[in-house]
Amino acid sequence: MLEAKNITRLYKSSGRGVEDVSFEVRPGEVFGLMGPNGSGKSTLLRVLSTAIAPESGTFRIGGADGLKERREARAKMGLMVDRPTHYGDLSGWANAYLFARSYGMEKGKAQSVLVELFDYFGLAEYGDDRAKTYSYGMGKKLALIEAMAHGPELLLLDEPSLGLDYTSQLAYQAKIRELAAAGVAVLVASNQVDEVEAMCDRVAFLHRGRLVALGTPESFVSSLEGTRRIVATLRNPVEYGALEGTRDVERVTTEGRDLVVHCAERPGIVAEVVAGLVDAGGDITDLAVRRPSLEDVYVKLTGEALRDYEA
């Protein structure tokens, strides 16, 4: 459905962008695109959405050449940009209707599909309200509706669930699975690790504009067998540099008040880490030892790529 070959697009001002990225998204597949801020996810989506042209490389959407047959390619895709905007003085319904008709939907069909989607995403009672009165999450849901309504063969979604409440996230994920089951190819750029792990059939990691890994979430996670993640919630911040010197500790990161220790699995490692934390003056209020997840893959890959880059 989507074939991207050797896509390169670098911004002259910053030198950032994407470089030599190739991958494909098959019909019925949910494909995740992950990477830290500035890794090139949004640039890649801008290229694939035909908003900007790549410096080199090609891509096809449902057989249509994304460079030479832009309008055909656009007609086949549903798009949700990372910061969706709407005509604030039009109602949410009018916005969605305008987009549906712009994609060539027939009047009656647009009407019935939008009724269904507004109802599904819980926007039915707000349909007549001006879009500028919508909350951020409601605006996101409206953008999802606009992306899905015309029945695209490919969905390009940039951070789709960011800002959605929990119920809406579940509804969105269920809808994506439903569409994928019906044969729609879905490309999701997201840093919501849980969501990507739960939803995506394959994941690609971007780092500094390059595709550093591509595979199934299961294969990524199983590649980390033998590692553990010790998550310690601390009452006070500590200087944890010394902890990285502990045998078999790979890296230490912080997540809010939590200190996350990525380490090899071996007897006694938890006790050593806890001792190291206590020695550093840490007051542990909660402790968990977790099996590896896609989050660890993310940290490992971006960390390795960073080290390779710096070397």
Partner 1 sequence: MKLNPPDAYWKKDAVLFFSKRFALLIKMLYPMALIVPVAVSAIPAQYAAAVIGIVAVMAGTFGAGESLTADLNDGILVRVALTPLSPQRIVFEILAVNAILDFIQLLPALLLVYLLHPAPLVWILAATFGVFATLVTANCIGIFIANFTSSPADVLLYATAILAPLIYVSGFFRNQNPTGISATLRDFVPFAYMNDSLKEVFGLTTGAVPFDVFVYPVIIAAVLAFGVCLTGPRLLSPRF
Site residues (vs partner 1, CB under 8 A): 11, 13, 46, 49-52, 71-72, 74-75, 79, 81, 83-87, 89-91, 93-94, 97-99, 101-104, 107, 110
Tokens representing 167 are: 């119920």
As measured in angstroms, the least distance from the Cβ of 139 to partner 1 is 12
Measured from the CB atom, the residue of 6 and 102 that comes closer to partner 1 is 102
- Where are the strands (E) in the chain, listed by range? 2-10, 17-25, 30-34, 56-61, 64-65, 77-80, 154-158, 185-189, 202-207, 210-215, 227-234, 249-255, 258-264, 284-290
Measured from the CB atom, the residue of 77 and 184 that comes closer to partner 1 is 77
* Separation of CA 192 from chain center: 6
Of 128, 69, 75, the C-alpha closest to 97 is 128
Measured from the CB atom, the residue of 128 and 283 that comes closer to partner 1 is 128
As measured in angstroms, the least distance from the Cβ of 5 to partner 1 is 21
The span from the CA of 218 to the CA of 293, in Å, is 9
Measured from the CB atom, the residue of 39 and 302 that comes closer to partner 1 is 39
For the stretch 7-23, what's the b/e string if a residue is b when 16 or more beta carbons lie within 10 angstroms of its beta carbon? bebbeeeeeebbbebeb
Tokens representing 212 are: 């550093």
As measured in angstroms, the least distance from the Cβ of 13 to partner 1 is 7
The span from the CA of 253 to the CA of 299, in Å, is 9
As measured in angstroms, the least distance from the Cβ of 296 to partner 1 is 34
Measured from the CB atom, the residue of 81 and 274 that comes closer to partner 1 is 81
As measured in angstroms, the least distance from the Cβ of 225 to partner 1 is 43
Measured from the CB atom, the residue of 98 and 287 that comes closer to partner 1 is 98
As measured in angstroms, the least distance from the Cβ of 85 to partner 1 is 5
